[in-house]
A and B are shown apart, each in its own frame.
Chain A
Amino acid sequence: MMKRYFVVLFLFLFAGRIGSFAQTSTPWVVPEEAKEKVAPFKFTPETVKIGESVFQRTCKSCHGDPGKQNWAKITPPPGDPASANFQVQTDGEMFYRIKTGRAPMPQFGNILSDEERWQVISYVRSFNPNYTQPAPLISMAAGAKKLKLYIYPNYKLKKLYVLCNEITKEKKEIPAKGIEIQLNVKRYFGTLKLGDPKTTNASGFVMYDFPADLPGGTHGIIDLTARVKDESGLLFSSDANAKLAIGKPVVLKRLTDARAMWSVRSKAPVWLILTFSLTLITVWGFIIYILLALRKLKYSS
């Protein structure tokens, strides 16, 4: 009887821990074909450097500095990218996990380009002396393609054309048909999708209207990115960027522009300056009057 009581107590006390343990250990499954994916270019000091800046900007807040074990205190723990646990992942696993995320790890599919993701991975790998990069997969499997994107604005027609070319083995560019293209606009953090993906026509083009109502800073400039949408994971592409003055210019009024209570002295509200000064002048006027009266008191006989 007593024994059972203790078992119950034990379960009661540790249930929470077991529960949370179970939660952290749920495996994060990566599809087989994604595991095998490798970077389309060779990791060099340059790619590490770009990757580092991406990491500083977008990963450090949670993962800390690689090697310093100073990740953010959240559950599940993000882990140190330089640690052995982290480095056992294949490049493909990392690529997939960065792209898809799993709460609280954000989904970076839409925020970073494929290229940037590989660059971050090259940075993370630079902390692993035992790492050797698998040969970049240029000799492609069936259906694999290397693509290149271009953006052409037509201001008269207010249209945007995105051209998608395939780069052949002979390094020649030919229009790629039937590729899904997503147009994005850069925001403060991440990107905003402009409509749904569109499929390229026979000449490799998709067409969009100029976005009518996007706010675009002081000069109305919006930062567009065209990106290949790739479910298969077999397309290697770099994004096309264009900064075009086709947004609505937005000049934000600063809170300190007008006279206000919270502003500097020279921008004090007029009524306040008047009230303060007039009150002081009035009272001190009377004080001076009294001092003069005292003078009169002294010198009148």
Chain B
Amino acid sequence: MDEKNVTLEKLTEDLTSHIRINRGFVIWMGFLIIGLCICLYAYLQQLRFGLGVAGIRDYVSWGLYLSNFVFFVATSLIGMLISGVLGLIGIKWITPLARIAETIAVAFAALAGLVIIMDMGRPDRLANVFIYGRFQSPILWDVSVVTTYFVLSALLLFIPLIPDIAWVNRKTDHLPGWLKKTYSILSLNWTDTPEKNKIIQRCVRILLILIIPSALAIHTVTSWLFAMTTRAGWDSTLFGPYFVTGAFVSGSSAVIIAMYFFRKNYKLHNYITDKHFSKMGILLGLVMLVYLYVNINEFLVPGYKLKTADATHLHELFAGRFAIMFWFVQIGGLILPIILLLFNRMRKPLPMLFIALAVFIGAWFKRYIIVVPTQEHPFLPIQYVPYNFKFYTPTLLEIAITLSSFFMALIIITLVSKFFPVIPIRETAVERGLIEE
């Protein structure tokens, strides 16, 4: 179909047809909610019996939860890369992807906050971080910046949605009353006047600029939770860039996976095209090359000097207890995808889905590799402790609680994408000359 000849009606129809409650949606949500309930049961056990139900102990006190936290913060950074960086530069092909990236950013940033609470034996003491928090503590910086980034991302998702919500509200009559009511509240009395458009444009512009430093801050500060200590593997001046570049990798792969399913399930083939996959493939390849470069620095520089603690740590990674996971992550999740992405044929939707999945899973385990292994080798010897203090193995409950964060993120992404247009209607229409700016 010729893209130019679509009428405004057709465009609206295409981009809103997925907004309805169908069987597929009910089954999918049912699956997510049942999964979440099982995991929440696991969390109740942890609330009742304490953190001891998880595998974390005195020496390895940061396990799955903390790795997962880093992963969620990382993935949420993609909103800043796509909307912020590429958007401000004026790159046009991101238009249909911006909202997907922003949705992922909001869901993952929200969950990052929750995941941290999962790691607390006494979540009721969360407020103490603010009441007694020290300005000197990266933990205070982290909670501040995570909250801020979440609010910025939510606004950046919501504000460009306003005209679209009003538009959908006007154009659809078949939707249930409660949904239309929600629409009319959320659309904030939108009318397409130059004055209102100007307000929105100004807000979005401010947000796009703010989101860049705060995204850098959120993940740099997260890296400082580690880098401000002297442990081997964490004691690195490169940790901020290491985390930020890694974040773009996991975030880009998340966007590609989401693109694939939205395009397929919501029939958006004419809007998210092969060209978009190819472009995202190039972007993913690019950020992975940068990440590979940082990785080489992270391993070669200490590996060349081999200070005692670094030597132990690197040996654990390269040939020790974590070798399989490490090489799976570095080869399967980084080097191989880079090579594959060089080929045109691999940047088609289906191959890209598999590559992105590999990268996404690899990125998760990468966080585990960063967080866990070094804690098994503290500077002071581990003495007179039970065996399960020496080596960390996650428990079943711990895994279930960790999985709950993915269920929750998927629920948020599903709800947002189901009830709001995935692709910006107004912006697309303007770009295609269907309405005047």
Q: A and B from one assembly?
A: yes
User: Which of A262, A264, A273, A294 counts the most B-chain CB atoms under 10 A from its CB?
Assistant: A294
Measured as residues with beta carbon below 8 angstroms from the partner, the interface class of chain A is 20 to 34
CB distance from A104 to the nearest CB of B (A): 22
CB distance from B348 to the nearest CB of A (A): 40
Interface residue B265 (Cβ < 8 Å from any Cβ of A): no
CB distance from B329 to the nearest CB of A (A): 34
Q: Are A276 and B206 within 8 A (Cβ)? A: no
- Report the bound CA distance from A300 to B136 in whole Å: 44
Given the known interface contacts A283-B210, A297-B199, the answer about A290 and B136 at a Cβ–Cβ threshold of 8 Å is no
Interface residue A11 (Cβ < 8 Å from any Cβ of B): no
Which A residues touch B199, using CB under 8 A?
293, 296-297
Q: Are A300 and B135 within 8 A (Cβ)? A: no
Interface residue A127 (Cβ < 8 Å from any Cβ of B): no
Given the known interface contacts A283-B148, A290-B207, the answer about A298 and B134 at a Cβ–Cβ threshold of 8 Å is no
Which A residues touch B200, using CB under 8 A?
297
- Report the bound CA distance from A296 to B199 in whole Å: 9
Given the known interface contacts A280-B148, A283-B214, A287-B152, the answer about A294 and B203 at a Cβ–Cβ threshold of 8 Å is yes
CB distance from B414 to the nearest CB of A (A): 26
The residues in A between 260 and 295 inclusive whose CB is less than 8 angstroms from any CB of B are: 261-265, 268-269, 272-273, 276, 280, 283-284, 286-287, 289-290, 293-294
Q: Are B141 and A276 within 8 A (Cβ)? A: yes
Which A residues touch B207, using CB under 8 A?
290
- Report the bound CA distance from A263 to B134 in whole Å: 9
CB distance from B117 to the nearest CB of A (A): 21
Which of B135, B159, B196, B203 is within 8 Å of A273, CB to CB?
A: B135
CB distance from B402 to the nearest CB of A (A): 30
Q: Are B196 and A262 within 8 A (Cβ)? A: no
CB distance from B391 to the nearest CB of A (A): 27
Q: Are B135 and A294 within 8 A (Cβ)? A: no
Q: Are A268 and B134 within 8 A (Cβ)? A: yes
- Report the bound CA distance from A263 to B135 in whole Å: 10
Which B residues touch A286, using CB under 8 A?
206, 210
Q: Are B148 and A262 within 8 A (Cβ)? A: no
Binary contact track B121-137/A, C-beta < 8 Å → 1, others 0? 00000000000111110
User: Which of A272, A290, A298, A301 counts the most B-chain CB atoms under 10 A from its CB?
Assistant: A290
Q: Are B135 and A298 within 8 A (Cβ)? A: no
Interface residue B173 (Cβ < 8 Å from any Cβ of A): no
The residues in A between 219 and 247 inclusive whose CB is less than 8 angstroms from any CB of B are: none
Q: Are A298 and B148 within 8 A (Cβ)? A: no
Binary contact track B181-197/A, C-beta < 8 Å → 1, others 0? 00000001111000110
Residue in chain B with minimal CB distance to A273: B135
> Majority SS of interface residues in chain A?
helix
Binary contact track A242-262/B, C-beta < 8 Å → 1, others 0? 000000000000000000011
Q: Are B136 and A298 within 8 A (Cβ)? A: no
- Report the bound CA distance from A94 to B142 in whole Å: 63
Residue in chain A with minimal CB distance to B155: A290
Binary contact track B279-296/A, C-beta < 8 Å → 1, others 0? 000000000000000000
Which B residues touch A269, using CB under 8 A?
136
Interface residue B110 (Cβ < 8 Å from any Cβ of A): no
CB distance from A264 to the nearest CB of B (A): 7
Q: Are A264 and B190 within 8 A (Cβ)? A: no
Interface residue B395 (Cβ < 8 Å from any Cβ of A): no
Q: Are A297 and B136 within 8 A (Cβ)? A: no
Interface residue B237 (Cβ < 8 Å from any Cβ of A): no
Which A residues touch B210, using CB under 8 A?
283, 286
Given the known interface contacts A268-B134, A290-B206, the answer about A297 and B148 at a Cβ–Cβ threshold of 8 Å is no
- Report the bound CA distance from A290 to B199 in whole Å: 9
Residue in chain B with minimal CB distance to A296: B199
Q: Are B188 and A293 within 8 A (Cβ)? A: no
- Report the bound CA distance from A298 to B203 in whole Å: 14
- Report the bound CA distance from A300 to B195 in whole Å: 9
Q: Are B206 and A265 within 8 A (Cβ)? A: no
Which A residues touch B151, using CB under 8 A?
287
- Report the bound CA distance from A286 to B208 in whole Å: 12
Which of A268, A290, A297 is within 8 Å of B162, CB to CB?
A: A297
Interface residue B269 (Cβ < 8 Å from any Cβ of A): no
Given the known interface contacts A280-B144, A287-B152, the answer about A297 and B134 at a Cβ–Cβ threshold of 8 Å is no
- Report the bound CA distance from A287 to B214 in whole Å: 12
Given the known interface contacts A268-B135, A272-B136, the answer about A297 and B188 at a Cβ–Cβ threshold of 8 Å is yes
Which B residues touch A268, using CB under 8 A?
134-136
Interface residue B202 (Cβ < 8 Å from any Cβ of A): yes
Which B residues touch A265, using CB under 8 A?
132-136
Residue in chain A with minimal CB distance to B228: A261
Binary contact track B350-367/A, C-beta < 8 Å → 1, others 0? 000000000000000000
- Beyond the given pairs A262-B136, A283-B214, 8 more chain A to chain B contacts, judged by CB atoms under 8 angstroms and listed by A's residue number, are A265-B132, A265-B135, A272-B135, A289-B206, A290-B155, A297-B189, A300-B195, A300-B196
Q: Report which B residues bind A (CB closer than 8 A).
A: 132-136, 140-141, 144, 148, 151-152, 155, 159, 162, 188-191, 195-196, 199-200, 202-203, 206-207, 210, 214
Q: Considering the complex of A and B, which 10 residue pairs feature the smallest CB-CB distances, nearest first?
A: A268-B135, A298-B188, A265-B134, A290-B203, A261-B136, A273-B135, A272-B135, A297-B188, A297-B199, A293-B203
Q: What are 16 residue pairs bridging A and B, where the CB atoms are less than 8 Å apart in the complex?
A: A265-B134, A265-B136, A272-B136, A276-B144, A283-B152, A283-B214, A284-B148, A287-B151, A289-B206, A290-B206, A293-B203, A297-B196, A297-B199, A299-B189, A300-B196, A301-B191
